[in-house]
Structure 1
Amino acid sequence: MIEPLFLSPSFQPKIWGGRKLETVFNYQIPAGKIGEAWAISAHPHGPSKIQNGPLAGEELNEAFKLHPEYFGNPKEKVFPLLTKILDADASLSVQVHPDDEYAEVHEHELGKTECWYVIQADPDSYLIYGHHAKNRQELAEMINKGEWDQLLRKYPVKTGDFIYVPSGTIHALNKGIMVLETQQSSDTTYRLYDYDRVDEKTGEKRELHLQQSIDVTTVPNVDPKLNVKEQQRGASTFTTYIEAPISPFFSVWQWRIKDRQKLTHQRAPYTLASVIEGKGSLSVDGKDYPIQKGVHFIIPAQVSTWELAGDLQIIASEPNNK
């Protein structure tokens, strides 16, 4: 019998991280400042591990290569998506990510388009999102002069918001924000500004990537127009945050389950899911699996339908390859 693939996160220490992954999600995290849980990850910098079934003990990147039938025998060489939870106990660096073309040439991996569901945000929280430069020359001048107040846009956010961050968008999570991030499976980040912080281990400022940032930033800034759709099914609510053609790489949904609901794959042969609140059960081929806040799983291609029941808030995603 084919089972869902439950995954254990890989935890990433960060200069801006905190301890909320422990206090909010009850994860057993390493000591120190832990900024990210790579929850559904096949990236070599932090692969998650399958916990159950015949693939138990395998890292997701290994499973993707050795058992392609679980993923619909995909054409991609690497697992295309990465799901994270980020805890910004301090502000992240102001940064930008390249698209696929630039990343392939310069970094030999995928580009990085991403999106955030805001799990928690302190009162009066804001992001850095976008910029005010009219052309690339002005962008370069403002970056090289460090004119951050004039260049950067502040974007207020609150718990429950959804933000799409295409490659080429200058952005930063700020202190007091926790998000679930869905992104392309890439670890390439170009830093424009890091508040002159010093790395505790090296005693030096972290590396900046000014020329790469100037090269890849979209100029002028263009805010994507989302078409969020909400559907009521019984007592449950299904929200589509983003899908093709707005996002060429992934579709993302929120499932607010209040009763029993049957689901199927939508855009790809397999589905990624993260429980961010509540508890209930996942039923596959008549077998029930208890799930609760902090659980992450993949519904593989061999499973055509499944059921969710209970009181659950889930962020789900699929690569747009169907």
Structure 2
Amino acid sequence: MDLSSLHSYPLKFRPIAKERVWGGDRLAPFFQLDENGKIGEVWTLSGHPHGTSVCVNGPLAGQTLPDIVAQYPGFYLGRTDRDCFPLLVKFIHAEQDLSVQIHPDDAYAQKHEGDYGKTEAWYIVEADPGATVHYGHTFPNRTTYEKAVREGTVKDYLRYVEVAADDFIFVPSRTLHAIMGGVMLIEVQQTSDVTYRVYDWDRVDSNGKPRELHTDQAADVLRYEAQTVPDERHIVFDTAEVVQEHLIQCAYFTIDKWELSAPHAVPLGKKGQPDVLICAQGKGLLAYDGGHALPISQGDTLLVPANLDVYEVEPHGEITLLRAYY
């Protein structure tokens, strides 16, 4: 297919539902999915083999994200040192507490897992009153950690942060963490699926068996130092109809939040790189290329091509978007 004759355009992908023991029934209706069971995650943009996104709009409909970026890297990949699309986006709803877990950095993951490490960020969409996430710990050293694992006292060393809708939490690799029950969030992360479980609240599966733990690997990557939630959030500009807020910039991604109540032209986050646009609330249109338009609503994730220097968001009422780029 010669895409140049068809023009590049923003891509939308089929949601990928993931059943989890801690999931519930909130995400299936949120994404209008015909799914039963405990859906804990919906991946909305992924090139990972454990869940690969398929385009659902335009001439590239039916093709996977890896196939698309291989054919048209200038449009949909840009510059990256990764051998795959470097970001993965998912919506997570925790009906119950997730396991206490940690992700390795790139060096450890590539050496031991044949995958990339995982730095991630959470934007809270919904949270029950008093809801929390676990973030960080008080283990002074590996010896104390290993003793707590043997004695079943890991939970005594955990730290918690109360969360509410619109909060943002950056979770670098090697951070002990857990999303707790009553929280729905958007996660932007490195393309990786490596997780080391440390503690699972003494939970068992449908066969009465506990899930596998990875306490030795976790001990290798755990930072034995105090960690606080990084906060570089600040307003970029603010008018009656448009608010742009910077949320985080790290080695793997930059994330901004846009709140719009009137049409607004949005430049690419980085010239020559694609934008990943995630609708957190509301609905509207993404207008581009002299009259084309694509509907966007809560839950949608769009991949905006790198040659589309400016696109316009036309909200229906009010819309909240996260924009990630690398």
How would you bin the TM-score normalised by the shorter chain? Answer: over 0.9
Partner SS, residue 54 of structure 1 = coil
Question: 1:302 & 1:53 partners in 2: Cα distance?
Answer: 17
**Residues 42-98 of structure 1 deviation map (CA, whole Å, 9 limit, x = unaligned):** 111011111112221111122122321222264421111100000101110000000
Question: 1:149 & 1:54 partners in 2: Cα distance?
Answer: 51
**Residues 284-311 of structure 1 deviation map (CA, whole Å, 9 limit, x = unaligned):** 1121222211221110112111011112
Matches within 5 A, 1:131-210: 131-200=137-206, 202-210=207-215
Question: 1:265 & 1:233 partners in 2: Cα distance?
Answer: 20
**Residues 239-272 of structure 1 deviation map (CA, whole Å, 9 limit, x = unaligned):** 11001xxx21111111111111111222361010
Question: 2:90 & 2:166 partners in 1: Cα distance?
Answer: 16
Q: Which moved more, 1:142-151 or 1:291-300?
A: 142-151
- 2:27–2:42 contact (8 Å) kept in structure 1: yes
Question: 2:163 & 2:150 partners in 1: Cα distance?
Answer: 28
- 1:251–1:317 contact (8 Å) kept in structure 2: yes
**Which residue is 1:108 aligned to?**
114
What is the Cα deviation at residue 218 of structure 1? 1.0
Structure 2 residue 319 is the aligned partner of structure 1 residue 312: yes
**Residues 110-160 of structure 1 deviation map (CA, whole Å, 9 limit, x = unaligned):** 100101001000011111110011222222222332213421112111111
**Which residue is 2:268 aligned to?**
265
- Contiguous gaps of at least 5 residues in structure 1: none
Structure 2 residue 57 is the aligned partner of structure 1 residue 56: no
Question: 1:104 & 1:157 partners in 2: Cα distance?
Answer: 33
**Which residue is 2:21 aligned to?**
15
Question: 2:136 & 2:266 partners in 1: Cα distance?
Answer: 36
What is the Cα deviation at residue 209 of structure 1? 0.3
Question: 2:150 & 2:309 partners in 1: Cα distance?
Answer: 53
Aligned residues: 314
- 2:80–2:86 contact (8 Å) kept in structure 1: no
Matches within 5 A, 1:247-266: 247-266=250-269
What is the Cα deviation at residue 229 of structure 1? 1.4
Q: Percent identical across equivalent pairs?
A: 36
What is the Cα deviation at residue 219 of structure 1? 1.1
The 3 A distance-change label for structure 1 pair 159 and 194 is same
- 1:97–1:167 contact (8 Å) kept in structure 2: yes
Q: Which moved more, 1:173-182 or 1:55-64?
A: 55-64
What is the Cα deviation at residue 108 of structure 1? 0.5
Q: Which moved more, 1:266-275 or 1:205-214?
A: 266-275
Q: Which moved more, 1:221-230 or 1:278-287?
A: 221-230
Report the RMSD for the aligned CA atoms in angstroms: 1.5
- Contiguous gaps of at least 5 residues in structure 2: 1-6
**Which residue is 2:35 aligned to?**
30
Question: 2:132 & 2:94 partners in 1: Cα distance?
Answer: 12
Instruction: Compute the TM-score of the two structures, normalised by the length of structure 1.
Output: 0.93
Question: 2:308 & 2:189 partners in 1: Cα distance?
Answer: 24
The letter for the 2-side match of 1:258 is S
**Which residue is 1:284 aligned to?**
288
**Which residue is 2:46 aligned to?**
41
The letter for the 2-side match of 1:42 is G
**Which residue is 2:4 aligned to?**
none
Question: 1:107 & 1:221 partners in 2: Cα distance?
Answer: 27
